[in-house]
Amino acid sequence: MHHPEHRTGSVTEHPLGAIILTGGASRRMGADKATQLWGEERAVDLVAGLAASAGAALIISAGPGRFGLPRTLDKTPLGGPVGGILSGLAWLDGRCAKVLVLAVDAPTLSLDDLAPLLAAPSPGAVFAGMPLPMVLDPQATAAGAEAGWPVRRFAERSGLTQLEPNAGSLARLRGANTPQELAGLLA
């Protein structure tokens, strides 16, 4: 009887996985954005809930904090969002056909906001003028991508389609980097 070889990363187990970028310095917010309360819940929990409702079977955080999710540390300290994306993709190791990348500072996003990205054909999509959120086929990751790259360059070199965002979702897509922006989104 012949047994096929099982190699890590050779089998796609899930249609969708998610990486929540939690490694930002939060200098303008003055507090860790991931644990910032939005109403009664931490931002990281709201974003993880959104990823789950979008159908993500594997959800990880990319950054140093421990939030009750599997996590990966950036391979390159201070590697920026692309460092987190690359570390997250390495952790997911091809187990997901598509990966949703979310910033922890945009916890008011809705499934309607994400629907155009989730429906985009391979290799994936971003909203024009907004590097995050993004949906990508892990196999489409830009060759030679490295931590420190701007997210826009990563998206362009990975061949992601630029979609026009719905005007009503712009504030939610931008998220909150300051206490004032947080208050505005909570209002």
Q: Write down the pLDDT at residue 173.
A: 84
DSSP H helical ranges for the chain: 43-53, 80-92, 111-119, 151-157, 170-174, 179-186
Q: Write down the pLDDT at residue 11.
A: 58
Assess if CATH 3.90.550.10 describes domain 14-186. yes
What does the longest C-alpha to C-alpha distance in the chain come to? 65
127-149: burial string, b at 16+ Cβ within 10 Å, e else? beebbbbbbbbbeebbeebebeb
Query: Tens digit of pLDDT per residue, the chain (187 long)?
Result: 333 333 344 456 889 999 999 876 544 444 566 767 777 888 899 999 999 999 999 999 998 888 889 999 877 777 889 999 999 999 999 899 999 999 998 888 999 999 999 999 999 999 999 989 999 999 989 889 999 999 999 999 999 999 999 888 888 888 766 667 767 766 6
Map tokens 């701007």 to a residue.
Answer: 150
The DSSP code sequence of 152-168 is: HHHHHHTT-EEEPPPGG
The tally of CA atoms less than 13 A away on the side-chain side of residue 80 is 13
Instruction: Report the chain's mean pLDDT, rounded to a whole number.
Output: 84
Q: Write down the pLDDT at residue 23.
A: 76
Q: Write down the pLDDT at residue 8.
A: 43
* DSSP H or E stretch at residue 130: strand 130-136
Helices and strands of the chain, counted as H and E runs: 6, 9
Q: Delimit the domains of the chain by residue range.
A: 14-186
